[in-house]
Amino acid sequence: MLGNQEKLEILKQIIESPTFKDAARLRDLLSYLVNESIAGRKPKETTIAIDVLGKDKEFDPKDDAIVRVYINNLRTKLEHYYHMNPTGIQYRLTIPKGRYEIDFEPIEAPAEIKEPEKKQWPFVVIGVLSLAVVILLVLMFSRSTGPESTSKIITSVIGHEKKPIMIVVGDFFVMNEEKLEGGEHNNVRDFSINSLDDYMEKSKVDKNFQVKYSPALYTYLRPSTYWGLWQILSVLKTKDVPVSLKLASQFTEDEFKSNNVIFMGQIKSLFVLRKFLSLYGIKCDLNKNTLSIISNDGKTEQLYSPADIHGGKFEKDFSFIVKGKGPGGTDFLLLMGCAEIGLLGAVKGVSDIATTNSILDKFPGGEVPENFMAVFESEGLNQTVFGSKMKNVIVPKVNYSKKTDSLFKK
C-alpha cells in the first residue's frame, strides 16, 4: 500500500515539474486535494472554493462553477504531465468525474508502450511531424540565405556571450466541444481565447461555457511557422551556438532567463512574452487583434489595426520586428504579425537583403542597436508576401534592462 510520505513525494515531483511551473493556483489545488486524501477527508465543492480559491462563506456552487472549471483544468494539466513524462511513473494521480478526491492508481505497464487515444492528437501529431521534417531538411540541405547583411538582425540575437538560442513558435489554444455521452467530440477554436487564463475568464461570465467546452491536451501551429523556421534555422546553422525549439504555450520565464529568444508567431500567441511588451511602449488588444506603439516622447501613440484579414484570401496585414533585452541580460527578437501574412512579412524583413538593408539604414553605421522596433505593412495571399512597405522604425532612448529584470523577478 502506498504510504503518506510516498504520496507527498509524488506530489512534490509533479508540482515542481515544468508542466506545473507557471500554474500556481493548480499547484495549490492539487496539493490541497492530496493533503485532504492523506487526512482521510473527502473535500466538497464549497470547501475547495473557500480554502483554495479564496471564496467567502456565501459561495453557492449553483451560481458559480469556478471549482468545477479548476478541477477540469487540473485533470487536463495532469494528463499533460503524464504525456510529457512517459517513463519512470509508478502511480498516476486521477480525479474521477463527479468527485473531488485524488486517486493514486498504480501503473503496471511502462507508459511509453501504451498507445494513446488517437482522437486526442490530430493537431499535435501533424505539428510534431511537420516540425521534425522542417528541421531535418534544414540541417541536411540549407545554406546561409545570403550576404552577412541579410542575417545581421537574426545573428544579433546571439550576443557576445553566445548563450543558447531558443526559437519560440506561437501556437494556438484548442478546445474540445463535448458531445452526447458516447459520441466523439469536436476540436474547436475561439479566436478570443488563446490560453488557459482566457478560458477561465470566459467561464466566469458564461457559466455554461465550461460545460460545453473543455481545454484540449494539444495546440496547433499555423503553416507560416514552417516557412519561418526554414529561413531562421538556415542562418543559425552556420553559427556555433546551440539552438532549441519550444512552443510558446510551454515557454517559461526561467527559460527566458537562460536563453536568447527568437519568437515567431501572431500577436495572439505570445503567451508569457506578452507581459513585458509594455516596457517597450507596446500595447496589444488581442480581442481586436491590434497593436499600438507609443513614441519616445510618450505623448503620441500609433495604432496598427489591419482591415483586410480574411484567411486564405488576399490580406493586408502589419508586420512587427522587435529587438531588445530580456531578463538576466538575454537578447530577444520578436517576429510578429496580426495574422498570417504579417508574420511572413516579419520573417522576410530579417531574412531578405533588401528589406533588411532598409531597416539597417536607419541605424548609425548600419549596426543593429540593442533595442529597436520596426513596423511594415505587408500584403499577400496564401502564404506568399507580395510586398512590404516600411511604416515606422523606433529606437527607444531608455535602457529597459533593469525594468525587464524587475518584471521577471520571482
369-375 mean pLDDT: 89
Tell me the CA distances in angstroms from 60 to 32, 314, 410, one per residue in order: 20, 50, 34
Sequential DSSP letters for 33-102: HHHHHHTT----HHHHHHHTS---TT--TTT--HHHHHHHHHHHHHHHHHHH--SS--EEEE--TT----
Contact 171/249 with Cβ under 8 angstroms?
A: yes
Q: CB atoms < 10 A from the CB of 16, how many? A: 11
Q: CB atoms < 10 A from the CB of 62, how many? A: 7
Residue pLDDT, tens place only, 231-287: 888 888 878 889 999 999 888 888 888 899 999 998 888 888 887 787 777 888 776
Amino acid letter at 369? P
| Cα gap 65→203, rounded to integer Å | 8
Residues 288, 294, 300, 302, CA torsion sign: negative
Report which of 189, 293, 190, 259 is spatially closest to residue 408, judged by C-alpha positions: 259
- C-alpha cell, 65: 462553477
Answer yes or no: is pLDDT of 7 > 70: yes
Query: What is the dihedral angle through the alpha carbons of 399, 400, 402, 408, rounded to the nearest 10 degrees?
Result: -170
pTM: 0.66
Residue pLDDT, tens place only, 26-72: 889 999 999 998 888 888 989 998 998 888 888 888 878 788 888 88
Q: What is the pLDDT of residue 311?
A: 59
Contact 340/311 with Cβ under 8 angstroms?
A: yes
| Cα gap 241→347, rounded to integer Å | 20
pLDDT band for 126, please (50, 70, 90 cuts): very low
The secondary structure element, H or E, covering residue 214 is: strand 213-220
Amino acid letter at 216? A
| Cα gap 126→120, rounded to integer Å | 12
Residue pLDDT, tens place only, 285-314: 776 777 888 776 666 778 888 876 665 677
